[in-house]
């Protein structure tokens, strides 16, 4: 079968252009190792060894503790809430915080606001102290909170009464159940 030859432009023949030769490179097929090289190793054996060694160490420590301190897994019968209350350190920053609330109540002539920060058994005493300090135009600041007992903080209050008379007093802040802090006393209460 022949095709008609018509007026066509120059035809391209591969023989007309020099062919460039490229060196043959061999690329390894994916998934197959190259000749002359060992197959790559995976680190699974090391990982398994580390996990097994760690597990064995935990078992050894557990067995040693079982013989040295045989009751380490048993409860001592004490409730966790009572143990927690005696082990929690006293938060000294509550002293200046509650002293600041008391001093603000004195400045504002609001003895009832001072009583809001007082312990239940000291509300009337704290209210009366705030009223007496307010009547004497007290200007106070709180400083040097210190632990007096595991549940009691002592805060020093210094300042003036009637704008000129120097005054030093103390405030006791008590920790109650549930780590709640309250003012338990203010002394001395200035005479009005």
pLDDT single digits (tens) 146-168? 999 999 999 999 999 998 999 99
Round to whole Å and give the CA distance between 175 and 90: 8
Q: Do residues 112 and 127 make contact, with C-beta atoms less than 8 angstroms apart?
A: yes
Q: Report how far residue 150's alpha carbon sits from residue 87's, in angstroms, rounded to the nearest whole number.
A: 9
Q: What pLDDT, on a 0 to 100 scale, did the predictor assign at position 155?
A: 94
pTM of the full structure: 0.54
CA 26 remoteness from chain centre: 60
pLDDT value at 70 more than 60? yes
Given a contact cutoff of 8 angstroms between Cβ atoms, the answer to whether 95 and 103 are in contact is no
Would you say residue 22 has pLDDT above 70?
no
pLDDT at residue 160, rounded to an integer: 94
User: Residue 25 has which token pair?
Assistant: 């490179």
Distance CA(147)–CA(132), nearest Å, equals: 27
Q: Do residues 127 and 152 touch, judged by C-beta distance below 8 A?
A: no
- Return the closest-CA partner of residue 186 out of 168, 165, 172, 166: 172
CA–CA separation, 78 and 110 (whole Å): 44
Confidence at 13, pLDDT banded by 50, 70, 90: low
């Amino acid at each position: 079968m022949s095709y008609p030859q018509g007026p066509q432009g120059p035809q391209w023949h591969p023989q007309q252009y020099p062919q460039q030769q490229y060196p043959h490179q061999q690329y390894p097929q994916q998934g197959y190792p190259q000749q002359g090289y060992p197959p790559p190793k995976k680190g699974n054996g090391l990982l398994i060894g580390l996990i097994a060694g760690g597990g064995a160490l935990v078992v050894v420590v557990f067995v040693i503790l079982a013989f040295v301190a045989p009751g380490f897994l048993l409860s001592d019968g004490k409730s966790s809430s009572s143990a927690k209350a005696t082990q929690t350190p006293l938060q000294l920053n509550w002293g200046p915080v509650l002293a600041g609330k008391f001093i603000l109540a004195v400045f504002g002539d609001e003895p009832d606001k001072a009583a809001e920060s007082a312990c239940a058994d000291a509300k009337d005493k704290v209210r009366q102290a705030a009223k007496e300090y307010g009547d004497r135009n007290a200007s106070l600041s709180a400083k040097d909170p210190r632990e007096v007992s595991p549940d009691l903080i002592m805060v020093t209050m210094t300042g003036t009464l009637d704008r000129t008379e120097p005054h030093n007093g103390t405030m006791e802040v008590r920790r109650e159940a549930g780590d709640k802090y309250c003012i338990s006393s203010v002394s001395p209460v200035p005479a009005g």
